[in-house]
Structure 1
Amino acid sequence: MNKTIAIVDDHNLFAQSLKGLVNSFQEYEVLSVFKNGQELIDYFLANKKHPDIVLLDIRMPVLNGIETMEWLKDKYPSQKVLALTMEHEEEIIIKMIKTGCRGYLLKDIEPDEFFFALNCVSNSGYYLNEDFSEALKCPKEQKTFKNFSQREIEFINLACSERTYKQVADEMNLSPKTIDGYREALFQKLELKSRVGLVLFAVKNKMVSF
């Protein structure tokens, strides 16, 4: 039985093209297409069949991606959602992750990587994209990291907040240069490339809760 997908995007041409791509994959099919978050909520409230994965645009009229994620987190926290975005907007993507999003897709993603992302979310729960090395993307076996210092754990938790790195430094009573050192050391240790990747890693490994 195919896994079902709901597409939520106000750009009709893109949404229909995405629908065609999803339906071209043998294992997946599009259940519904919605123009904004409110249409998705209305669908859920009508007690219709829930999709296995929601592909959710971030910038939409009526109800945007963040507002929609907040509703889903409250009502259906187990619903798997992938964010769709035109740009890598760190602050907004982190907000999406904090409200339960399982990863994000850039709208110019290659079809093979898109298919890979759907499989990752279906099988392991999260899609870890270019923020991670190939070794950590959708692993067959969970890779664990146990050698975190107390200060590293504190830094990770603060980095998953909406604080700037300067505010993190103030909170930890450290210089911005020292914080830069923590960040770069963790990026190297975890094979990460961005703060978004760090947040995804922390959420996936249950190092933080929101």
Structure 2
Amino acid sequence: MSEKILVVDDHILFSQSLKGLINSLQDFEVLDVLKNGQELVTYYESNKIKPDIVLLDIRMPVMDGIETMEWFKENFPDQKVLALTMEHEEETIIKMLKLGCRGYLLKDIDPDEFRYAMETVLQSGYYYSNEVAEVILHSEDKRKDQFTKRELEFLHLVCSERTYKEIAGEMNLSPKTIDGYREQLFAKLNAKSRTGVVLYAIKNKVVSI
């Protein structure tokens, strides 16, 4: 039985090409291709077949990816959603993850990695890039009691959309001291990016978001 996929992307050429790729994969089938979040809401309200995974772009007209994730969080919080986008902005990615997105993919992803990402979400609930997987692999035993109170405060703020400068102001610390906290946390988690830290925190419930 094929896994059902719903594509939500306003770039017609890309979305149709993506549909062709997914339908060529064994055990996967595209239910429909929608242009924005409003079309997705209409799809769900029409009681059509619910997908196993929604592939969701972020930058779309009418109702974008963030607004769509807000709707999912309120109406279908268990729906597995993968962001598939050209969006690189850390704050946007963090916001998507906090709203319940199970992972994010860039549109230049290798087809084999793309299939692996979908299979991973279906099996374990989340997708991690190789870099983020390394964070999880080396950090499974790290829980709240392995962070200092100040580190936990910093970790909570890292999982917000605040910039590092804003975090420094919130913690009444200098930007240089915040840089030190960041490097210390990255080293402790064997992480290379802020997004990796956020995914780790969500997966291991180190912070409540």
- In the TM superposition, what is the alpha-carbon distance from 1:191 to its structure 2 partner? 2.2
- In the TM superposition, what is the alpha-carbon distance from 1:174 to its structure 2 partner? 2.1
Is residue 5–residue 29 contact of structure 1 (8 Å, CA) maintained in 2? yes
Q: Which residue of 2 aligns with 1:143?
A: 140
Structure 2 distance, partners of 1:102, 1:187, is 21
**In the alignment, is residue 209 of structure 1 matched against residue 208 of structure 2?**
yes
| Range with bigger deviation, 105-114 or 79-88 | 79-88
How large is the RMSD of aligned CA atoms in angstroms? 1.9
Q: Which residue of 1 aligns with 2:198?
A: 199
Give runs of aligned pairs for residues 173-188 of structure 1, distance below 5 A: 173-188=172-187
- In the TM superposition, what is the alpha-carbon distance from 1:208 to its structure 2 partner? 2.7
- In the TM superposition, what is the alpha-carbon distance from 1:135 to its structure 2 partner? 6.6
Give the AA of the match of 2:194: R
Deviations 1:121-159 (A, max 9, x none): 1111111125425473xx6xx923132222111111011
Structure 1, unpaired ranges of 5+: none
Structure 1 distance, partners of 2:38, 2:203, is 28
Q: Which residue of 1 aligns with 2:9?
A: 9
Structure 2 distance, partners of 1:194, 1:207, is 17
| Range with bigger deviation, 102-111 or 158-167 | 158-167
**In the alignment, is residue 70 of structure 1 matched against residue 67 of structure 2?**
no
CA distance 1:144–1:22, shift in 2 (3 Å) = farther
CA distance 1:3–1:144, shift in 2 (3 Å) = farther
Is residue 91–residue 161 contact of structure 2 (8 Å, CA) maintained in 1? yes
SS in 1 for 2:132: coil
Instruction: Please list every run of at least 4 consecutive aligned residues from structure 1 whose deviation after the TM superposition is greater than 3 angstroms.
Output: 133-136
Q: Which residue of 2 aligns with 1:27?
A: 27
Give runs of aligned pairs for residues 1-210 of structure 1, distance below 5 A: 1-132=1-132, 134=134, 136=136, 143-146=140-143, 147-210=146-209
Structure 1 distance, partners of 2:118, 2:97, is 17
Is residue 90–residue 195 contact of structure 1 (8 Å, CA) maintained in 2? yes
In the comparison of the two structures, how many residue pairs are matched?
A: 207
Give the AA of the match of 2:113: E
Give the AA of the match of 1:207: V
- In the TM superposition, what is the alpha-carbon distance from 1:173 to its structure 2 partner? 2.4
Is residue 80–residue 121 contact of structure 1 (8 Å, CA) maintained in 2? yes
CA distance 1:135–1:159, shift in 2 (3 Å) = closer
Is residue 11–residue 35 contact of structure 1 (8 Å, CA) maintained in 2? yes
SS in 1 for 2:31: strand
Specify which structure has the higher proportion of helix: 2
Deviations 1:146-182 (A, max 9, x none): 3222211111101111221122122222222121111
Q: Report the identity percentage.
A: 65
CA distance 1:182–1:135, shift in 2 (3 Å) = closer
Q: Using structure 1 for the length normalisation, give the TM-score.
A: 0.91
